[in-house]
Structure 1
Amino acid sequence: MTLENISCQKSFGGWHKRYRHRSEVLGCDMVFAVYLPPQAEQGARLPVLYWLSGLTCTDENFMHKAGAMKMAAELGLIIVAPDTSPRGDGVPDDPDGAWDFGLGAGFYLNATQQPWAQHYRMHDYVVQELPALVEAHFPASQKRGISGHSMGGHGALVCALRNPGRYQSVSAFAPISNPMDCPWGQKAFSHYLGDERSRWREWDACILISEAREKLPLLVDQGDRDDFLSVQ
C-alpha cells in the first residue's frame, strides 16, 4: 500500500510526519500522524503507541498539544495518531451537522447500520489495517500500546479488551467508559449499531471488563473536575 508524505518536521531529534493513504477497510483516503524518534534511524525495531483522540479531533490534536514527543524521543517510542473517523466524498455525516456523531466521531467501532456500515469501521482500521501499514513502512516492532482520551479512551479500552494479547499496555484518560448509559454513546450506538441493545454490549468497555475471561492490566485516569463527568 502506498503512503503519501504530506508534511514533515524535525522534533526532538526525530521526525513528526503526516501521511495519506487509501484505506480498503474504510473505503476512503485517510491521514495519520507519526512521530519517529531518533532511534528510528539507527536500525532498531521500536515499540509503538497508538493514540486515539476524542470527539471532533483529527490526527493533529495529540501531536500538537500533548508534549509527548520529548518523552518518546528519550524512550525510543514511535507514536501513531490516526484520524477519528473516515472522511471524504461519499462518507456520510450527521444530517443535522452535530459534532458528536458522524465525521470526527467514529467511536472506534464497526458500524452495522446503513448508511454508516460501508465506511465507519474504525475498529478494524485501528486494530488491523493501520498497524499492518505502520509495521510495513516504519521500523516498528510488534510491541504495541494503545491509549486515548474521551471517545478515544473508549476506543483504546475496547480495542484492547476485544483483542487480548495484541497490546502490551492500555490506558485511557477521561474515557467514555460506559457508552450504553450516556447520551453520547447512546446516540452513536443507536445510529451505528441499531436499536438492539444486545449489540451495544460488544462495544461497551464496562460490559467487556465484566465478561472478560482474564484480567487485562489497564490504567484509567479521570479528573474530578471534568465538566462531562456527571452526564457522560
Structure 2
Amino acid sequence: MTIEILEEARVFEGRQLRIKHVSASCHCDMVFSVFLPPQIEQQAVPVLWWLSGLTCNDQNFVTKAGAQRVAAELGIAVIAPDTSPRGEGVPDDSEGAWDFGLGAGFYVNATQAPFDQYYRMYEYIQQELPALVQNEFNLDLSRQGIFGHSMGGHGALTLALNNPQQYRSVSAFAPICAPSQCAWGQKALAAYLGDDRAAWQAHDAVALIESRGFDKPILVDQGLADSFLENQLKPELLHAACAKQSVSLTLNHRAGYDHSYYFISTFMEEHLRYHSAFLNR
C-alpha cells in the first residue's frame, strides 16, 4: 500500500507527518497525522491513537493539543486519523448539518445506505490503519493505547471496550458517554446503523460496561463549564455504570473548563504520562 507524505516538520527532535493513502475500508483517499518521537531511530516505539471530535480533522490535535513535547520525552508515537471519509461521492448530511456526515463518522461501521460503502471508521481505526503504519514505521503494535475528545472520546472508549486485547490503556476528554441517550448519538447511530437500538449497544460505552464490564482502568477529564455537559456528554451515566460493574474509573471534574482545545491542552501532559505508565513497560 502506497503512502504520500503531504507535510513534514521537525519538532522536539521528532517528526510530525501528514500522510494520504487510499483506504480499502472507506473506499476513498484518507489523511492522517503521525508524530514520530526521536527514539524511533533506535528502537520500536509504542503507539497512542488520538480520535478527534465533531467537525474536526487530523490537524486540530496536531496544532492545538501541544502533545509533541511530552510524547517526544516519553518515546510514544501519536497518530491522529481524520474523523470521517471525505471526497467526491462520499455522502454527507442531506441538510449539511455539522453533527453528522462529513467530519462526524462516529467511529462505527455503517450498515445503512448510502453510508455503508464509505463510513467504516471503526474498521479503519482498529484494523486498516495499524497494519498500514506498522509496515511504514518502526512501531511496536503490541503496545497500543487510545484516547480522544467528545465524539472521539466515545470512539476511544468503545474501541477499547470492544478490543481489550489490542489497547493497553484508554482515556478521554469530555466523551459522549452514552450516545444511545443523547441527540448527537441518536441521530448518528440511527442513520449509520438503522433503527434497531440493539445494534447501537456495541458503540455505546455505558451499555458496553453495563453488559460486560471492563478489566482496565479508565481516565476521563470533563470540564464543568462545558456547554454540552448535561445534554450530550452525560459522564454521570459512565460513573454509575463503572461503579455498578466495579470498573476503575478516574473522572476528573475540571471547574471553569469548556469543551475546547484550551481544556485539552491544559491536561494533555497528564494523559500522556498516564498512558506511558502502561505503554512503556
TM-score clears 0.5? yes
Q: Deviations over 1:165-210 (max 9, x none)?
A: 1001100110001000101001101100111111111110000011
Q: Does 1:198 align with 2:198?
A: yes
How many angstroms does 1:216 deviate by?
A: 2.6
Task: Choose 147-156 or 33-42, whichever is displaced more.
Answer: 33-42
2:26·2:119 contact (CA, 8 Å) conserved in 1? Answer: yes
Question: Paired residue for 2:57?
Answer: 58
Amino acid of the structure 2 residue aligned with 1:66 = A
Unaligned runs of 5+ in 2: 233-281
- Measured in 2, the distance between the counterparts of 1:216 and 1:41 equals 31
- Measured in 2, the distance between the counterparts of 1:198 and 1:157 equals 18
Query: Which has the larger helix fraction?
Result: 2
How many angstroms does 1:164 deviate by?
A: 1.7
- TM-score normalised by L of structure 2: 0.81
1:16·1:33 contact (CA, 8 Å) conserved in 2? Answer: yes
Question: Paired residue for 2:129?
Answer: 130
How many angstroms does 1:222 deviate by?
A: 1.2
Q: How does 1:32-181 map to 2 (within 5 A)?
A: 32-42=32-42, 44-142=43-141, 143-181=143-181
Q: Does 1:209 align with 2:209?
A: yes
List structure 1 segments (4+ residues) > 2 angstroms apart after TM superposition. 213-216
Q: How does 1:10-25 map to 2 (within 5 A)?
A: 10-25=10-25
Q: Deviations over 1:10-56 (max 9, x none)?
A: 101111111100000110000000001111122x0000100000000
The alignment of Structure 1 onto Structure 2 pairs a total of residues equal to: 231
Q: For 1:187, what is the secondary structure of its paired residue?
A: helix
- Measured in 2, the distance between the counterparts of 1:3 and 1:50 equals 19
1:161·1:216 contact (CA, 8 Å) conserved in 2? Answer: no
Q: For 2:119, what is the secondary structure of its paired residue?
A: coil
Unaligned runs of 5+ in 1: none
- TM-score normalised by L of structure 1: 0.98
Task: Choose 62-71 or 195-204, whichever is displaced more.
Answer: 195-204
- Measured in 2, the distance between the counterparts of 1:9 and 1:127 equals 27
Q: Percent identity between the aligned chains?
A: 59
2:161·2:214 contact (CA, 8 Å) conserved in 1? Answer: no
Q: Deviations over 1:53-84 (max 9, x none)?
A: 00000000001001100001100110100000
